[in-house]
Structure 1
């Protein structure tokens, strides 16, 4: 099937304006980096996600799922096939003490929704820049909390095109990992089971965590957030700092002078700049401390 036929079929599934061809992805990532997508889709309901996904499989097009692009590095060659961007699926609702958030909602907004209803448990998420879908995908966490502490269940789209509800146990949530990736599922929504709390105390905790984040993280530059997972018995940022790597720059990518665990885009960095700097950091830390730094950021796309 040629490109025009694929485009026409996708425009039967989604509103025309929500199908973009050869679209630059740097507009949709926190790093402001990324080549073109062959087809970039913005579904507005689960049926559109399901139908677009199934159509892509029928015509042998690879499918890439993109949330708000906060923990991803897209290579300069872009992404072939279909990219499904879920950021139009943002509804957050309340059922008793359960907050139900669609995958495109920001996890920060979900924590604020919980605050509004004086529900405690999601305070840790008030500074995580990702979407709910991304938070489920990698069991996002910060400041001693993580998604697995409060998640009850998730709604996912399977590789067979079925929408099913899976329990927290079936998601196999570990440190920055889940079975969503392993099973090839698409996260559609999460149900968070929270407890009634004191509004003022919840707000106080969230304000404190927000201050910590803003004072320690280099939010003034585009970045993918924390680049590396925490190695056993170490902190990635400290190993990088102690290796004298802060301020090290390749092209437009720089190891942040504010927080060594971040690589920031200070001057029109390419993905190649970013990846070269990541490899340089890994190599230096390995030489100095014999510790392997594993990337937390998801690296996708063509060279």
Structure 2
């Protein structure tokens, strides 16, 4: 999706660069940019510093296995926040580790998944997190245990806001390799069939309200295919807004607001955005 420029776009080389930026930024706001999924940047851009960490924190350590008193085999694995979710799920499958197969279709990285407690088909990344390591806003590295985090629907609450997730330790169960691979393949097939993967988009636009789905509500409201400028509600999946060529962020924002208004009028339900709106909006 389109968006405007950053005042300062910085690509740090290592953790020390990030620490120095955070400690010396003064009053400048810092926006952390990973893979950029589920993100819509305003046409006017983002004020302050945009810190691009897309190429950092990609190491996955070899899983460490142990056996519970019940006899069940489990493993802990430390994963860099820059690791793509699709790669992570497939990597874990090689070790017959189960628990996040349904997340194979999430296009972003682990860091973004942790921050938003990304999920699909009833599975959330928060289900398997043991601890999270981040650089806080003071430029200090800290590790937060699971008990210090609160996992909600599409949101993880940290003890203090801000900071940059750099690693997470996951705890998963040993499963049947063939069943795990079947689950991964089935999820990817469903994604290909139901989502508009051939057109640029920012992923799921709205959170699913309790007991229903945003896509169904939007479709029932007659908004499939509704367009403004170069943007349109996908005819393949109504909870996606696609860029048909020259869409502006303003076009997409107008569609979001129109969908919210119409669905509210027809059903009384307030659709909450899942996509993150960043930058200076009119």
Q: Distance in 1 between matches of 2:267 and 2:17?
A: 49
1:66 matched to 2:33? The reply is yes
> Which residue is 2:60 aligned to?
92
Indicate the residue corresponding to 2:116 in structure 1: 138
Separation in 2 of the partners of 1:211 and 1:200?
Answer: 16
Is 1:34 matched up with 2:16? no
Residue 176 and residue 116 in structure 1: after superposition, are their counterparts in 2 closer, same or farther (change >3 A)? same
- The 1:162/1:182 distance shift into structure 2, 3 A limit, reads closer
8 A contact 1:180–1:186 mirrored in 2: no
State the shift of 1:252 in Å.
Answer: 0.8
Contact 2:206–2:214 (Cα < 8 Å) also in 1:
yes
Measured in 1, the distance between the counterparts of 2:160 and 2:236 equals 35
SS of 1:94's equivalent? coil
Matched, 1:81 2:60: no
Residue of 258, 268, 271 corresponding to 1:290: 268
SS in 2 for 1:153: strand
User: Is 1:87–1:105's contact at 8 Å kept on the other side of the alignment?
Assistant: no
| Conserved 8 A contact 1:137-1:181 | no
Query: 2:149–2:159: 8 Å Cα contact kept in structure 1?
Result: no
1:212 shift after superposition:
0.6
Stretch deviating more after TM superposition (175-184 or 257-266): 175-184
Per-residue displacement from partner, 1:22-61 (whole Å, max 9, x unpaired)? Answer: xxxxxxxxx2x111012212223322222222221xx321
Q: Distance in 1 between matches of 2:147 and 2:103?
A: 21
- Decide which of 256, 259, 262 is 2:240's aligned counterpart: 262
* Aligned residue in 2 for 1:250: 228
CA–CA distance in structure 2, aligned partners of residues 121 and 53 of structure 1: 35
- Taking a change above 3 Å as real, the CA distance of residues 196 and 170 of structure 1, as seen in their structure-2 partners, is same
Kindly tell me the number of residue pairs found equivalent between the two proteins.
270
Secondary structure of 1:274's aligned partner: helix
Cα deviation 1:225-250 (Å, max 9, x = unaligned): 10001112221110100010000000
Question: 5+ residue gaps in structure 2?
Answer: 65-74
Q: For residues 43 and 126 of structure 1, do their structure 2 counterparts lie closer, same or farther at Cα, with a shift above 3 Å needed?
A: same
Per-residue CA deviation, residues 251-274 of structure 1 (Å, 9 max, x unaligned), is 111000000011111121100000
Which residue pairs with 1:109 in the alignment?
A: 87
Q: Which runs of 4+ in 1 moved over 3 A?
A: none
Q: Which structure 1 segments of 5+ residues have no match?
A: 1-30
8 Å CA contact 2:18–2:139 kept in 1: the answer is no
Residue 181 (structure 1) shift:
9.2
Q: CA deviation at 1:154?
A: 0.4
Q: Tell me, yes or no, if structure 1 residue 121 matches structure 2 residue 99.
A: yes
Contact 1:42/1:84, CA 8 A, preserved across alignment: yes
